[in-house]
Amino acid sequence: MRVSFINFIRLGSDLWRVQSNPLLALFLRTVGTLDIHARIRNVHLMNALHNLDLNHRRVLDIGSGRGYLLFYLARRFPGGDFEGIELDSRRTLECEMVAKEAGLTNLSFHQGTIQFLHDEPVYNLIISIDVFEHVLDDIGMLQKMARILQPGGKIAIHVPLRHQRQRRIFPVFRNHIIADHVRDEYLPAEITDKVLSAGLEVDEVNFGFGILGELAFELNNLFWDHKALRITTALFTFPISLLLGYLDANKNLAQGNSIVIIASRPSFSS
């Protein structure tokens, strides 16, 4: 089942539980996160996995951030076992508190990186959203993912397209780059080759952030280098950005500003 519009709106709403500002808590509880970019990238990846039944499956989210994806999956598949690993200890603590208060006993969060995990093939699905462009040894990370993935298990990766190839709409975004990216993002063939080099089989290569998603992102971040002004403007553009983002996340795109890779670890031959 693909993500419904209601669930798209509710994405990030769980975090109202750890907000001290009552207005922010009310906003989150009612319409979820203000961050349209996070919604789009999470839902593009969720929709790529829409035919998977994750009950009685063990799932790991690498770089789980604020846990948007895991909170959604833990509610949808109560019989599954969901884990997030995140370098930011503050976000990890917040997510742990939210999961506990929400009674999601099938969901846990851990502070650290994937390299801290034992080399045991225990996961049925490993997810990573916009993490690889921050990692120097991306091939080593893929190899680690392959080692802890059960035979027949899958990985799902979302990465940005190389920024020189991204299509922008408003002039202010033509020089928009992320300072802590350790490389110029990815081309489809490049990330595909790296996945194959880790011993995995590529099942699908899809795109995210088409023209509607890019417009939604830019409207949501018009003053991206001025935080207070960006947030104020985003409140006004939020309704149209939300609709455009949902339409983009539910389209099968021939091209876009991000790449979604679904790959599998080969099953043992009989």
194-212 CB burial, b ≥16 within 10 A, e <16: bbeebebeeeeebbbbbbb
pTM, two decimal places? 0.94
Quick check: 34 pLDDT over 50?
Answer: yes
Strands (E), the chain: 58-62, 81-86, 107-111, 123-129, 149-160, 201-208, 258-264
pLDDT in the model for residue 238: 97
Give yes or no for a contact between 53 and 77, defined as CB atoms under 8 angstroms apart: yes
Res. 178 pLDDT band, cuts 50 70 90:
confident
d(CA 195, CA 119): 18
d(CA 178, CA 163): 9
How far separated are the first and last CA of the chain, in Å rounded?
32
All structural domains of the chain, each given as residue ranges with its CATH number in brackets, are: 5-264 (3.40.50.150)
d(CA 90, CA 256): 32
pLDDT in the model for residue 268: 65
Question: 79-121: per-residue pLDDT in tens?
Answer: 999 999 999 999 999 999 999 999 999 999 999 999 889 899 9
